[in-house]
Amino acid sequence: MYVALQPTPNAPAIALTRAGLVEYEQALALQRKFHQEIVAGLRPNSLIFLEHPSVYTAGKRTQDFEKPNDGTPVIDVDRGGRITWHGPGQLVGYPIIKLARPTELVGFVRTLEGALIELCSDFGIKAERVDGRSGVWIVDEKGARKIAAIGIRVAGGVTMHGFALNVCPDLSPFSQIVPCGIDDAAVTSMALELSREITIDEVAPVLEKYLYQALGKVSA
């Protein structure tokens, strides 16, 4: 499904695709198609929301020891960051955006973090940034737990890849890897933090709102 929304009165429209459950390689091909079209000026800035069947993906900084030790296949991708897992119950967002300031990659990551933190707050979860670590975290007396991972690539001034928010996934696949190369912190989900059932359909519309507000400030 495609939806065109205007994030702020003077910001470019962003085309939203709600794609459902999509194999990772198929979604990557769709990202690349959108990216090429946006670089060429043939398509508006775009945001893809989807879930993936269970899959491990490894960014450019992944070390061999961080990968599964049972021979499970890993897909190498051209994003930043290290290895992570995607699967059902995890809301994945791929903002394919022409940046107003193409060299501000860190600023773009902070923009995504801010939208995810606001989303968590709406559901009563106190999330935050952690210095020196990308993504969104829960930090309290139980320790640090990652609730959302982010990995971005910019080419031709246009972003690719994005974020993965753990809404209600089975977290056990994370035990087979060193998620994002961080071995001294846990992984969590919205369902685990809230101690209740929660669905992608409940979360996605709220996150759309915050992402449109945030992306409208950094897109060209």
Buried b (16+ CB within 10 A) or exposed e, 57-75: bbbeebeeebbeeeeeebe
Report the DSSP beta bridge partners of residue 83: 58
- In the structure encoding, which two tokens stand for residue 213, read together? 């507000």
120 catalytically annotated: no
Catalytic residue selected from 47, 112, 127, 180: 180
Tokens 């846990």 correspond to what residue? 186
Q: What is the DSSP string of 81-135?
A: S-EEEE-TTEEEEEEE-BBSSTT-HHHHHHHHHHHHHHHHHHTT---EEETTEEE
Q: Distance between the two ends of the chain, CA-based, in angstroms?
A: 24
Q: Is 12 helix (H, G, I), strand (E, B) or coil?
A: coil
Torsion angles phi and psi, residue 22, rounded to 5: -135, 135
Catalytic residues: 180
